[in-house]
């Protein structure tokens, strides 16, 4: 089920690898069985008056169709493919959410900085894990657990003030939305670099912080 990873270089940084149509259930099962990631179902989008609203019923929902549906989501999360299949069979449209701080952490940067960092990492031959792109123009770099806890220290060691960079670290107690989750009218989360056998072993945050901080710093200067 895993697809061959496609590279994003300097010449096509505005492009995203082709995304085949996938169902939340099959993606959730794949993440659990092939990546050994914990997964849990979130809210979903429901048709209403020629538009789509979040199943939570909140008119001003900040992440329609892409947030936990239950307060105890952390205990519902499972790394079992069979359990994931049962959960999504109850609500096939539920978003696919991944808890951070368990089998991975996530470094979250603006899309423009993310593409700049990807091009720089390719030149430097930095080992990469999966990278997702959200419809609100963010990029999510998957790293080993523990990366969130040391991200600020690593940024300071490079001479940057963490407050000056738009670099967010997601660790224990957090979660991210995974493809093919749709976030309201904005669109769907996509893979910029799909999970493959080649990137099964995630990089440490220390390998990623320098190019990511540099790219975020360049964006901050241009703002």
pLDDT recorded at residue 5: 34
The overall average pLDDT reported for the chain is: 90
Q: How confident is the model at residue 223 (pLDDT cuts 50, 70, 90)?
A: low
Closest C-alpha among 131, 119, 105 to residue 218:
119
Across-strand partners of 97?
40, 177
pTM of the model: 0.89
Q: Around Cβ 13, how many Cβ atoms within 10 Å?
A: 15
Q: How far apart are CA 152 and CA 194, in angstroms?
A: 27
Query: CA 29 from chain center: how many Å?
Result: 17
Over residues 53-57, the mean pLDDT reads 96
Q: How far apart are CA 51 and CA 76, in angstroms?
A: 30
45 half-sphere exposure, CB direction, 13 A CA radius = 20
Give alpha helix (H) positions in the chain.
24-34, 73-76, 81-90, 111-124, 147-157, 205-222
* pLDDT of 21 above 50: yes
Summarised one tens digit per residue, pLDDT across range 130-170 is 999 999 999 999 999 999 999 999 999 999 999 999 999 99
Summarised one tens digit per residue, pLDDT across range 7-19 is 333 334 434 444 4
Report the share of the chain in percent with pLDDT over 70.
90
Q: How confident is the model at residue 219 (pLDDT cuts 50, 70, 90)?
A: confident
Summarised one tens digit per residue, pLDDT across range 99-129 is 999 999 999 999 999 999 999 999 989 889 9
* pLDDT of 220 above 60: yes
What interhelical angle do 111-124 and 205-222 show, nearest 10?
A: 130
């Amino acid at each position: 089920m895993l697809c061959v990873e496609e590279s994003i270089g300097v010449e096509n940084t505005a492009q995203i690898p082709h995304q085949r149509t996938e169902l939340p259930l099959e993606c959730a099962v794949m993440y659990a069985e092939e990546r050994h990631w914990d997964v849990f179902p979130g809210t979903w989008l429901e048709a209403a008056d020629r538009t789509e609203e979040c199943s939570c019923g909140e008119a001003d929902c900040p992440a329609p169709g892409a947030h936990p549906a239950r307060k105890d989501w952390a205990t519902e999360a499972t790394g079992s493919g069979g359990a994931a299949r049962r959960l999504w069979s109850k609500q096939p449209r539920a978003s696919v959410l991944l808890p951070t701080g368990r089998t991975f952490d996530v470094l979250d940067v603006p899309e423009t900085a993310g593409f700049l960092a990807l091009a720089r990492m390719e030149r430097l031959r930095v080992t990469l894990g999966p990278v997702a792109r959200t419809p609100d123009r963010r990029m999510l770099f998957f790293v080993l657990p523990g990366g969130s806890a040391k991200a600020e220290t690593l940024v300071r060691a490079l001479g940057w003030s963490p407050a000056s960079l738009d670099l967010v670290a997601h660790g224990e107690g957090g979660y991210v939305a995974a493809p093919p989750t749709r976030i309201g009218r904005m669109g769907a989360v996509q893979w910029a670099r799909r999970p493959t056998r080649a990137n099964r072993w995630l990089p440490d945050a220390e390998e990623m912080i320098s190019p990511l901080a540099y790219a975020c710093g360049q964006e901050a200067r241009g703002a």
